[in-house]
Amino acid sequence: MAGANERENIEITREILRVLGKPEALIRPVADRIGHDRRYSLDASKLRALGWSPVVPFASGLAGTVRWYAGNEWWWQPIKDHDGEFARFYSEQYGARLK
């Protein structure tokens, strides 16, 4: 793990909702699918060998990232709205699992 900040996806989901001031009731568990990641891990040993180390604590970095996306909808909204492509992808991946 790159910054020694291993977390389960659900923990990060809860933290994002907290930063946004949203309730955890928005979390909708879905049935697992093949390849559905429960966690991610990076190996930064080569970067550390070059002298790199994280300087931003995980919680504040995540909060800053969430606030940036919340305040810069112009950047991501066109991707989400592009010809219904996102809606189709979401439906294909999660539609049957959300019932």
In a domain, 3, yes or no: no
* Domain with 36 in it: 9-98
Each residue's pLDDT tens digit, 31-76: 777 777 766 778 888 998 999 888 999 999 999 999 999 999 999 8
Tokens of 57: 């604590």
- Nearest CA to 94 out of 33, 37, 13, 24 is that of 33
Mean pLDDT of the 82-86 span: 79
> How many structural domains compose the chain?
1
In a domain, 93, yes or no: yes
* Euclidean distance between CA atoms 67 and 23, whole angstroms: 17
HSE-CB at 75 with a 13 A cutoff on CA atoms is 5
Task: Say what percent of the chain tops pLDDT 90.
Answer: 38
Mean pLDDT of the 14-23 span: 97
pTM value surpassing 0.85: no
Tokens of 3: 């910054």
Tokens of 12: 């990060």
